[in-house]
Amino acid sequence: MKKIIKRQIKKKPSKLIFLTGIIIALLFVLQIINFNRYATWGEKLKTLENQERVLKIENERLEKEITEVSSLSSVKKRAESLGFRKASSYLYLTSEIPVALK
């Protein structure tokens, strides 16, 4: 009887050590997977930050271009090139008939 109890006591620590080893190995593998995922996310984040920087620069350029094109001097030059000119006289239209009938 004493021999059986001693054998059972000896077997329990080896199973415990085996299970602990498996758990540690599993945690190690999970840690490697997480490091890999974080590295991939870091690369994606870096790419997105570069795209953001490029888009901000392009946005500033386009805003400047809009400002230049919509300036009064630019609009005047464009109108003149299309054949528009300053009016020499003005004609006002008056309506004898009301616009909206009651």
Q: Domain total for the chain?
A: 1
pTM: 0.47
The arithmetic mean of pLDDT across residues 49-75, rounded, is 93
Q: Which domain holds residue 57?
A: 2-69
Closest CA to 84 of 92, 76, 96: 76
Could you tell me if residue 99 is inside a domain?
A: no
Judge whether residue 10 has pLDDT over 60: no
Could you tell me if residue 14 is inside a domain?
A: yes
Could you tell me if residue 53 is inside a domain?
A: yes
Could you tell me if residue 102 is inside a domain?
A: no
Could you tell me if residue 90 is inside a domain?
A: no
Residue 40 near residue 47 (C-beta atoms within 8 A): no
Q: Which letter, b or e, does each residue of 43-65 get, where b requires 16 or more Cβ atoms within 10 Å of its Cβ?
A: eeeeeeeeeeeeeeeeeeeeeee
Could you tell me if residue 85 is inside a domain?
A: no
Judge whether residue 8 has pLDDT over 60: no
